[in-house]
Amino acid sequence: MDDNNIKKPKNWIPNIFLIVGFVSLFSYYLLFAPYGNKDVIIHISNGKSINSVALQLKSEKAIRYDFTLKIFIKLLKSGKGIVSGDYLIKKNSQVWTVAWQIGRGYHNIEPIKIVIREGLTNEEIATILADKLAGFRRDLFLSSTNDKQGYLFPDTYFFFPLDTTDEIIEKLSNNFQMKIKNLSSEIDKSGKSLSEIITMASILEGEARGKEDIGIISGILWKRISLDIPLQVDIDKSTYNVKGLPTKPLNNPGLLSINATINPINSPYLYYLHDKNGDVHYAVTFDEHKRNINNYLK
């Protein structure tokens, strides 16, 4: 038999290695971050699109190709798409890991706890935020909240270091709207506008000492308004000469003051004062009030 006519088996091994190598190299470039990159911190704003986030991550070299991120976000079915906030993307993270992070809200960064107590002015809130958040723009915050004093709800908040001024204000404002929504029926029954309620509540923040006296003091102040008598509250000296409520809230009141404003307690009193220990003393007549002044403040 002629050896030249014998068909020799083809050697597929080099081809297989070539294919596997090509697929591996293609997968590496497709799925892994650029070589030698570093940890990246990015901020995703509320409502930011997947397209813009993907391009941002690509520009920061956290991912190699933006389209692969978008594919994995869809494949992982992470609900609404992406979760806002700050993210620490570890270097050399696979694209599906990044997609899982931003789709599920695994930030890898601890949010900063900030307590905004009742009765703070916008300027005082700005001071607290500036102390806690390194990139906080105090000037921008104050200019953007010029007409929002009284409507930034005091509460415990968790902010990310890169949260924008607009996002911080939105959190405070949305919290106020949520709390007020629960009181909407009571506000309607009170016969007073929201502006009147919040302004009176801001007065109570400075005039009352807590649950024991806030309802009665609310009743006294509303009574003085109904009788066309100046409020004469120490928190705003202009009320000694000008009748009625101040033109705008004096601070940002909490729920206790807002509830007391909506639900004042009726009493025979028209005057009150707090002694040096913080105890309240009421009076029906001005003569009785003067005696209280002599007894407890002098």
- Where are the domains positioned within the chain? 14-104, 112-181, 189-267
- How far apart (Å, rounded) are the C-alpha atoms in residues 249 and 201? 8
The half-sphere exposure of 140 on its side-chain side, counting CA atoms within 13 A, is: 11
Better-predicted residue by pLDDT, 7 or 69 = 69
Strand partners, 280: 274
Residue whose pair of structure tokens reads 């609310």 in the numeric block: 218
Q: Are the CB atoms for 84 and 170 separated by under 8 Å? A: no
If you average pLDDT over residues 227-244, what whole number do you get? Answer: 95
Q: Is 159 helix (H, G, I), strand (E, B) or coil?
A: strand
Distances (CA, A) of 171 to 180, 279, 286: 14, 36, 45
In the chain, the amino acid numbered 149 is: Q
Q: Which of 16-20, 75-79, 162-166 bottoms out in mean pLDDT, i.e. has the lowest?
A: 16-20
pLDDT at 211 over 90: no
Q: What is the DSSP string of 164-180?
A: -HHHHHHHHHHHHHHHH
- The torsion angles phi and psi of 154, rounded to 5 degrees, stand at -75, 130
- How far apart (Å, rounded) are the C-alpha atoms in residues 118 and 201? 10
- How far apart (Å, rounded) are the C-alpha atoms in residues 118 and 270? 26
CATH among 3.90.1820.10, 3.10.180.10, 3.30.460.20, 3.30.1490.480 for 14-104: 3.30.1490.480
Q: Tell me if 14-104 shares its fold with 112-181.
A: yes
CATH number of the 112-181 domain: 3.30.1490.480
Percent of the chain with pLDDT over 90: 58
The helices-and-strands tally (H runs, E runs) of the chain is 12, 6
Token duo for residue 133: 């958040």
Better-predicted residue by pLDDT, 37 or 169 = 169
Q: Are the CB atoms for 202 and 119 separated by under 8 Å? A: yes
Q: Give the pLDDT of residue 11.
A: 58
Residue 65's Cα: distance from chain center in Å? 33
Type and span of the H or E element at 129: helix 122-132
| Positive/negative CA dihedral, 155, 157, 161, 167 | negative
> Confidence band (pLDDT; 50, 70, 90) for 41?
confident
pTM, to two decimals:
0.81
pLDDT tens-digit profile of 75-91?
A: 776 556 788 889 888 88
Q: Give the pLDDT of residue 9.
A: 52
Closest C-alpha to 121, from 202, 13, 48, 242: 202
- The torsion angles phi and psi of 279, rounded to 5 degrees, stand at -75, 145
If you average pLDDT over residues 148-164, what whole number do you get? Answer: 95
- How far apart (Å, rounded) are the C-alpha atoms in residues 46 and 24? 37
If you average pLDDT over residues 37-42, what whole number do you get? Answer: 81
Token duo for residue 128: 């607290």
Q: Are the CB atoms for 89 and 116 separated by under 8 Å? A: no
Type and span of the H or E element at 283: strand 280-283
